[in-house]
């Protein structure tokens, strides 16, 4: 633990996929054929006093060193200097690690999947502690953390008993610098200017034409005559950039906006062949939203009631969205390392990040896409075998909607760790940590719509013009008859404003752990153990709180005044130009002649229009406050106690060194969930008739529920050194992934029975509604990993891994009897909730990594190097869609309550991609360093945060990146970085993998930077 001075010896789309894989295979094969030459070169290098390696080659050397020196199977990277992490964000840095892939939002990497498994199955630590987030799940938004202030990222793909539990797929670890260990005084300043071609197409954009990222860091160490040592580290980062996004959208299946409508000519009481115009899911007679495809199994036939009938997935609306965005972030990292003597090491660190995302949104919305127009829609409908519509025609209202959106997300984390050497062989340590994320989202919306009259009252158009669209070019493109979407005055239906407080969430994690490390002589080289206590609190104030007001149709003076005052020119040129073939919208006259082709529509200044509406109606434009207790609030506290014991071993067998560890971790978790509901009293009439009567004027009643589980997690990690440069690894461990905090809510409401002769308590409640299961159990798995790794020199690695995971647990809907305490009495009622069942499933995969530097080649060729990684996996896990999947509901005794026969294939493990690949070609020569990177992942199932039981797929994605840097002096470096170079969009699909729901086009992003170091 002594502070020691150290000499620094090292300064540090599918069409592309097959081609890139071939190139990577050739690079990997060259490792073996050129190893001897490389070893000779390495021997020559030993004759030199010092070898200076920097840039990409130095970073890749750290990835090799991290993997080789770890007992568990780990892939990662470490920057040789502060701010040298080779990525624009932590998410993008993690993407370059073997087996890691990202989910993209706003064009950047956010959530990370390990080996193709979604973030739900991973855990994340920041300086060894759990990190909170504001999304309601356990994934971490890595764009929250600036890459300039993080010095090491690693992914633990196997686990040992000392690691914090929570990741079946693996553990992502982020670390900032420890100042004494850094052992250099350094003042560093870096500034980057961001340029995005798509941003230049937006007039008067929120973030301006050029974005900015700047960081400053200072590290220093102080030695005292008494033997004490003190190190400090300070870091500051500020970012103000744009994230332009052009979108084609359709209603998602997360609510009640996407139905499978019957498309069968023999069915005329509902669906597309109804004799009168109307929404296809509304039957001619009967309640609304009840006429879609009926998946319930008919007991007489054993099949769904609508088995054999054709259907088509009908969204409530389709739209285009033009976005103008601003992303501002300010982050501060600080650390103190203090060693008062040669036995004590004290580390204190603090991080805070404040991020504001703001958007100006303009939507052109086709509002009645579920509507069938007799004689038009059914005859024109073109539908795939899986129900995806590719051509539609009918009458639909057209809206120009504008919106101002803002998200404020703040992260605060800090901790203190004290380690003390009781003896030369025994070290004890204690660690306290705190992490909190708050997220608040607000929206201001304006809706305007087509009508028979314009804003001046003149008959000029139709309320629902005739519209036709197809997907022949890949995205929806429209023909509109008799309605010019660029004419502001035609959007004349009632003007409606909404002021929404949309999200108010707080996620807090507080933890304490104590550990010991007893080092021994012999086969057992160390015994480690410890205990940890943590408390996670998740508070979501519930759904949107809205203030809504409008000017009704017919008030033409007001409508025209607002229309004329707040009309603006369409903000963006070349909208969706990279995704369309021809014009987005073709306008026809009544005879079918083309009158105009456009890629824009009439737009309005949201704040202007909402303010004028508020003045006219006497309303306020202030965002409403979220109440402290709502029937749909989520208030979850998860308390975890864990203890572990682990032994390190090192021995020899048949002249081979065998080392590793084995251990056991025991985890006990308790969950308390708080909800609120209307309070009732139970009244009994003179004749003994019971009734529930709400208490007039009373506040909502606080109710509680909970759950618990205890899991035993053994682990073994083994390494056999076959030769000096060849090792064989193996690992067996049991892991768990916890339920999402948002899924453990206790939201319960009930409908009072309308019967008039109730005499028993169990008849008082007619049905129960709500969400969440506080007793949701974790998903566990046994994992088996093996790998063989070859390290011929510090620049070369070839690794092949095989892994298998046996999952225990799936998700099912169960009808259970819950007991409600009402007026001091227990009232039972049935409720359907999601539970973790005992279903078994398996996942098997391979992982290949190769990296090599060609320093032995002559001339400029000696500067080239390459790195490639590939992960392939198969899984039989099944995730059924809650609307149109195969669903069996059982009661507590296992009896079948209801069954449905699905019409959509089940999803796989959330976030699971069959193929994940990354390849990098780099060149380093003197002061120049450059690299070209390609990242690919195949399609995957991505659950919705608001409703994680509906299927949404993200399509195959391949993204190119490039980086270059040059030292103009020893302490000043210029850099040029670009991501998404070829404007790869993100495509999302609803229910099936061909039902295109959303296309997000971001464009490339380029940053030019200068970094200066002051020693």
Burial 199-224 (b: 16+ CB within 10 A, else e): bebbeebebeeebbbbbbbbbebeee
Q: Is the pLDDT of residue 866 over 50?
A: yes
Q: Which of 310-314, 725-729, 1002-1006 has the lowest mean pLDDT?
A: 1002-1006
User: For residue 698, what pLDDT is reported?
Assistant: 82
User: For residue 106, what pLDDT is reported?
Assistant: 65
User: For residue 542, what pLDDT is reported?
Assistant: 80
Burial 585-601 (b: 16+ CB within 10 A, else e): bbbbeeeeeeeeebbbb
If phi > 0 it is left, if psi is from -120 to 50 it is alpha, else beta; for residue 830 that is beta
Which residue carries 């402290």 as its tokens? Answer: 628
Q: Do 347 and 272 meet the contact criterion of CB atoms below 8 Å apart?
A: no
Q: ∠767-770-773 over CA atoms, to 5°? A: 115
Q: 473-484 pLDDT, tens per residue? A: 899 999 999 999
Q: Which two tokens stand for residue 744?
A: 């453990």
User: For residue 700, what pLDDT is reported?
Assistant: 83
Q: Is 962 exposed, middle or buried (0-12, 13-18, 19+ CB in 10 A)?
A: middle
Strand pairing class (888-891; 811-822): parallel
Q: Which of 368, 392, 366, 396 is nearest to 380 (CA)?
A: 392
Q: 671-722 pLDDT, tens per residue? A: 999 988 888 888 888 888 888 888 888 888 888 999 999 999 999 999 999 9
Q: Do 363 and 399 meet the contact criterion of CB atoms below 8 Å apart?
A: yes
- Helix-strand-coil split of the chain, %, nearest 5: 10, 55, 35
User: For residue 98, what pLDDT is reported?
Assistant: 79
Coil, strand, or helix at residue 376? coil
User: For residue 407, what pLDDT is reported?
Assistant: 94
Coil, strand, or helix at residue 992? coil
Q: 31-75 pLDDT, tens per residue? A: 444 444 444 444 444 444 445 667 888 888 888 988 998 999 988
Which residue carries 């819950």 as its tokens? Answer: 818
For residues 322-350, give the mean pLDDT. Answer: 93
Other Cβ atoms less than 10 A from the Cβ of 556: the count is 17
User: For residue 687, what pLDDT is reported?
Assistant: 84
Q: 397-416 pLDDT, tens per residue? A: 999 999 999 999 999 999 99
DSSP 470-538: E-TTSS-EEEEES--TT-GGGB-SPEEEEEEEEEEEEEEEEEEEEEEEEE-SSSEEEEEEEEEEEEEEE
User: For residue 446, what pLDDT is reported?
Assistant: 97
Q: Which of 11-15, 94-98, 188-192, 359-363 has the lowest mean pLDDT?
A: 11-15
Cα–Cα dist 115/993, whole Å: 21
If phi > 0 it is left, if psi is from -120 to 50 it is alpha, else beta; for residue 655 that is left
User: For residue 121, what pLDDT is reported?
Assistant: 80
Q: Which of 202, 239, 210, 212 is nearest to 324 (CA)?
A: 202
For residues 879-891, give the mean pLDDT. Answer: 85
Q: 521-544 pLDDT, tens per residue? A: 999 999 999 999 999 999 998 888
CA distances (Å), origin 260, targets 263, 312, 634, 948: 9, 5, 31, 19
User: For residue 108, what pLDDT is reported?
Assistant: 63
Q: Is the pLDDT of residue 610 over 80?
A: yes
Q: ∠100-935-801 over CA atoms, to 5°? A: 45
Q: Residues with Cβ < 8 Å from 26, sequence gap 6 or more?
A: none
User: For residue 212, what pLDDT is reported?
Assistant: 92
User: For residue 30, what pLDDT is reported?
Assistant: 41
Q: Do 130 and 109 meet the contact criterion of CB atoms below 8 Å apart?
A: no
CA distances (Å), origin 572, targets 42, 90, 446: 56, 30, 19
Residue 962 CB-half CA count within 13 A: 8
For 199, phi then psi, to 5°, come to -65, -30
Cα–Cα dist 163/734, whole Å: 12
Coil, strand, or helix at residue 557? helix
Q: Which two tokens stand for residue 315?
A: 């969204």
Give me Rg for the CA atoms of the chain.
31
Question: Which strand (E) or helix (H) includes residue 61?
Answer: helix 55-69
Cα–Cα dist 302/295, whole Å: 11
Q: Do 594 and 482 meet the contact criterion of CB atoms below 8 Å apart?
A: no
Cα–Cα dist 748/674, whole Å: 10
Q: Do 29 and 796 meet the contact criterion of CB atoms below 8 Å apart?
A: no
Secondary structure of 227-271 in HEC code, one letter for each residue: CCEEEEEEEEEEEEECCCCEEEEECCCCCCCEEEEECCCCCCCCH
Q: 638-673 pLDDT, tens per residue? A: 999 999 999 999 998 888 899 999 999 999 999 999
Our CA dihedral for 615, 617, 621, 623, rounded to 10 degrees, sits at: 170
Q: Residues with Cβ < 8 Å from 18, sequence gap 6 or more?
A: none
Residue 530's Cα: distance from chain center in Å? Answer: 32
Question: Which strand (E) or helix (H) includes residue 922?
Answer: strand 915-925
User: For residue 17, what pLDDT is reported?
Assistant: 40
Residue 667 forms beta bridges with which residues? 642, 711
Percent of the chain with pLDDT over 90: 58
Rounded to two decimals, the pTM is 0.87
Using pLDDT thresholds of 50, 70 and 90, give the confidence band for residue 153.
confident
């Amino acid at each position: 633990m002594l502070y020691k001075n150290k000499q620094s010896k090292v300064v540090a789309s599918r069409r592309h996929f097959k081609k890139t894989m071939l190139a990577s295979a050739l690079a990997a094969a060259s490792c073996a054929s050129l190893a001897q030459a490389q070893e000779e070169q390495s021997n020559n290098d030993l004759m030199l006093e010092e070898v200076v390696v920097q840039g990409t080659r130095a970073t890749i050397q750290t990835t090799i060193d991290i993997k080789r020196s770890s007992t568990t199977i780990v892939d990662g990277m470490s920057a040789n200097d502060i701010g040298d992490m080779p990525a624009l964000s932590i998410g993008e840095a993690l993407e370059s690690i073997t087996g890691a892939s990202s989910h993209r939002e706003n064009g950047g990497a956010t959530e990370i999947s390990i080996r193709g498994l979604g973030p739900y199955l991973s855990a994340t630590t920041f300086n060894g502690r759990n990190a909170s987030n504001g999304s309601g799940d356990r994934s971490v938004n890595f764009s929250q953390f600036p890459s300039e202030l993080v010095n090491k990222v690693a992914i633990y793909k196997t686990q040992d008993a000392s690691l914090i539990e929570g990741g079946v797929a693996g553990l992502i670890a982020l670390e900032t610098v420890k100042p004494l260990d850094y052992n250099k005084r350094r003042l560093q300043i870096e500034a980057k200017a961001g340029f995005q071609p798509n941003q230049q197409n937006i007039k008067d954009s929120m973030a301006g034409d050029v974005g900015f990222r700047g960081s400053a860091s200072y590290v220093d160490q102080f030695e005292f005559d008494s033997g004490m040592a003190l190190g400090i580290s300070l870091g500051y980062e500020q970012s103000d950039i744009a994230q332009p996004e052009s979108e084609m959208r359709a209603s998602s299946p997360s609510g009640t906006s996407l139905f499978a409508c019957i498309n069968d000519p023999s069915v005329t009481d509902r669906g597309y062949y109804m004799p009168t115009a109307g929404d296809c899911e509304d039957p001619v007679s009967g309640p609304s939203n009840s006429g879609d495809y009926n998946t319930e199994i008919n007991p007489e036939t054993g099949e769904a009631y609508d088995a054999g009938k054709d259907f088509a997935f009908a969204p409530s609306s389709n739209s285009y969205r033009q976005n103008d965005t601003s992303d501002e972030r300010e982050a501060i990292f600080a650390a103190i390392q203090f060693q008062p003597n040669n036995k004590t090491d004290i580390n204190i660190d603090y991080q805070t990040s404040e991020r504001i995302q703001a958007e100006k949104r303009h939507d052109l919305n086709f509002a009645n896409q579920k509507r069938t127009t007799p004689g038009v829609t059914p005859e024109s409908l073109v539908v795939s075998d899986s129900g995806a519509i590719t051509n539609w025609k009918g009458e639909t209202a057209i809206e120009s909607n504008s919106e101002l959106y803002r998200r404020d997300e703040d992260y605060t984390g800090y901790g203190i760790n004290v380690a003390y050497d009781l003896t030369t062989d025994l070290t004890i340590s204690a660690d306290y940590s705190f992490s909190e994320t708050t997220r608040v989202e607000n929206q201001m919306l304006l809706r305007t719509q087509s009508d028979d009259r314009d804003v001046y009252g003149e008959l000029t158009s139709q309320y629902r013009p005739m519209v036709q669209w197809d997907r022949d070019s890949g995205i929806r493109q429209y023909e509109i008859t008799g309605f010019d979407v660029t004419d502001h005055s035609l959007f004349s239906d009632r003007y409606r404003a909404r002021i929404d407080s949309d999200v108010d969430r707080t996620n807090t994690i507080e933890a304490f752990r104590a550990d010991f490390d007893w080092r021994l002589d012999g086969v057992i080289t160390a015994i480690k153990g410890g205990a940890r206590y943590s408390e996670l609190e998740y508070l979501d104030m519930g759904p949107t709180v809205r203030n809504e007001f409008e000017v009704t149709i017919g008030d033409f003076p007001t409508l025209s005044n607002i229309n004329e005052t707040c009309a603006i020119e369409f903000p963006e040129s070349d909208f969706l130009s990279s995704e369309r073939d021809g014009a987005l919208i073709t306008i026809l006259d009544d005879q079918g002649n083309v009158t105009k082709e456009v890629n824009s529509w009439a737009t309005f200044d949201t704040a202007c229009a909402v303010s004028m509406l508020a003045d006219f109606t006497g309303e306020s434009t202030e965002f409403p406050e979220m109440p402290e207790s709502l029937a749909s609030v989520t208030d979850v506290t998860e308390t975890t106690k864990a203890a572990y014991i682990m032994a390190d071993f090192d021995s020899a067998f048949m002249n081979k060194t065998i080392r590793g560890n084995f251990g056991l971790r025991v985890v006990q978790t308790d969950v308390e969930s708080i909800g609120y509901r209307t309070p009732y009293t139970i009244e009994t009439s003179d004749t003994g008739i019971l009734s529930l009567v709400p208490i007039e004027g009373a506040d909502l009643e606080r109710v509680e529920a909970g759950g618990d589980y205890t899991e035993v997690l053994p682990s073994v990690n083994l390494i056999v050194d076959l030769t000096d440069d060849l090792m064989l690894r193996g690992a067996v461990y049991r892991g768990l992934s916890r339920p999402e905090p948002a899924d453990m809510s206790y939201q319960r409401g009930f409908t009072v029975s309308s019967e008039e002769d109730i005499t028993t308590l169990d008849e008082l409640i007619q049905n129960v509604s709500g969400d969440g299961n506080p007793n949701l159990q974790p998903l566990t798995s046994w994992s088996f990993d093996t790998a063989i790794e070859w390290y011929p020199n510090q620049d070369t690695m070839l690794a092949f891994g095989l892994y298998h995971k046996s999952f225990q647990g799936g998700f099912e809907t169960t009808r259970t009897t819950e007991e409600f305490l009402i007026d001091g009495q227990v009232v039972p009622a049935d409720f359907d909730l999601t539970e973790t069942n005992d279903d078994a499933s398996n996942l098997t995969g391979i992982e290949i990594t190769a990296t090599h530097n060609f320093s032995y080649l002559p001339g400029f060729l000696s500067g080239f190097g390459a790195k490639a990684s590939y992960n392939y996996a198969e899984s039989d896990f099944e995730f059924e869609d809650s609307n149109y999947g195969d669903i069996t509901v059982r009661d507590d005794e296992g009896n079948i309550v209801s069954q449905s026969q699905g019409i959509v294939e089940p999803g796989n493990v959330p976030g699971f991609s069959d193929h994940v690949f990354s390849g990098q070609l780099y060149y380093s020569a003197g002061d120049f360093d450059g690299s070209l990177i390609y990242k690919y992942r195949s399609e995957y199932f991505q659950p919705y945060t608001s409703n994680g039981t509906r299927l949404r797929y993200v399509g195959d994605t391949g993204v190119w990146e490039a980086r270059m840097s040059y030292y103009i002096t020893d302490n000043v470096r210029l850099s040029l970085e670009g991501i998404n170079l070829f404007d790869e969009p993100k495509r999302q699909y609803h229910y099936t993998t061909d039902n295109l729901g959303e296309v997000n086009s971001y464009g490339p992003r380029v940053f030019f930077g200068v970094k200066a170091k002051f020693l």
